[in-house]
Amino acid sequence: MKVLNFGSMNVDYVYQVDHILIPGETLASKERNVFCGGKGLNQSIALAKAGIPVYHAGLVGEGGDALLDVCRENGVNTEFVKRVEGPCGHTMIQVDKNGQNSILLFGGSNRCITKDFVDEVLKNFDKGDMLLLQNEINELPYIIDSAYEKGMMIILNPSPYDNALEECDLTKVSLFLVNEIEGEQITGEKKPEKILEKIKEKYPKASVVLTLGSEGSIYQDETGIYRQEIYKVKAVDTTAAGDTFTGYFISSIIDGKPIQEGLALAAKASAIAVSRPGAVSSIPLKNEVENA
Ligand code: RIB
């Protein structure tokens, strides 16, 4: 089985601020750092660091050389990463003194995916292969339909949630990884139990991981419900904590680990990510997670 992650690659401009800006406010930042990120790239790196061979597919624009370098340094296969003209995807991230963030996204090259490129990539994958997606690239409905037709197993982290997802046939998804906000956006429900109930009603064949910030996470499939608490750490920067959780949880499924063990591994990995600055740079290696 091959693992393909078709996703975004961003240059993250991270500004350290006393508090997240309010409308109309001008505030001097204390520090600026530039990191490799993007939900797609972060999740590929998390998978690779967890020991899973992964192909990343995506588009890198001008100024994105470091994104390709970081894939190679971490063993992510870049055969399906293409360079394109025009600006690379990037973000402006404010991180406050409590490690909380606020992210402004510019899609750039991530929004230049064409159906031809999707076909070119997917022809290298087959029935039983795994496809991981987030919502920072265009052509998601086409990618989902094409992968489903091939018999690939589709995993979706619908983040950030927007109207584009309403164009997707989400009944083709086997596993959702959502936080409570995305859970509410998909189901219209606020309470975790209700979100899970509604997801089961709408997508009876899908499993789901619902992450609840400081309240931990819940996994649901046809066999039942599993809960996991967080590992408490001092938050330095929460960027990519969710992506780290996603990559590590999926790695545990691929490795055939019991669900409870996978949730614990993912929770531990994301706690380590929260205790470090940046996106890709904050994602721990498997042995660090196992020995923590
Ligand atoms: O999930 C964190 C990521 O979201 C950041 O790396 C940023 O690029 C945005 O895509």
Tens of pLDDT along 101-115?
999 999 999 999 999
Residue nearest ligand 1's atom 8 by CA: 38
What is the longest distance spanned by two Cα atoms in the chain?
52
What pTM value is reported for the model? 0.96
Determine whether the shortest distance from the Cβ of 240 to ligand 1 is under 6 A: yes
For 245-265, b/e burial (b = at least 16 CB within 10 A) is bbbbbbbbbbeeeebeebbbb
Tell me how long the chain is. Answer: 292
* Partner residues linked to 36 by β-bridges: 11
Determine whether the shortest distance from the Cβ of 207 to ligand 1 is under 6 A: no
> What is the whole-number distance in angstroms between the Cα of residue 223 and the centre of ligand 1?
32
The atom of ligand 1 lying closest to the CA of 280 is: 6
Instruction: Please give the pLDDT value at position 286.
Output: 97
High-pLDDT (> 70) share of the chain, %: 100
Q: Which residues neighbour 268 within 8 Å (Cβ) at sequence distance 6 or greater? A: 231, 289, 292
Provide the pLDDT confidence category of residue 285 given band limits of 50, 70 and 90. very high
> What is the whole-number distance in angstroms between the Cα of residue 203 and the centre of ligand 1?
27
Instruction: Provide mean pLDDT across the span 241-245.
Output: 97
Instruction: Provide mean pLDDT across the span 234-259.
Output: 97
- For 142-200, what is each residue's pLDDT tens digit? 999 999 999 999 999 999 999 999 999 999 999 999 999 999 999 999 999 999 999 99
By most ligand atoms within 8 Å of CB, the mutation choice from 93, 101, 161, 178 for ligand 1 is 93
Residue nearest ligand 1's atom 9 by CA: 38
Instruction: Please give the pLDDT value at position 4.
Output: 98
For 32-68, b/e burial (b = at least 16 CB within 10 A) is eeebbbbbbbbbbbbbbbbebebbbbbbbbeebebbb
Burial class (CB in 10 A: 0-12, 13-18, 19+), 159: buried
Provide the pLDDT confidence category of residue 292 given band limits of 50, 70 and 90. confident
Instruction: Provide mean pLDDT across the span 5-31.
Output: 97
Provide the pLDDT confidence category of residue 219 given band limits of 50, 70 and 90. very high
Instruction: Please give the pLDDT value at position 277.
Output: 94
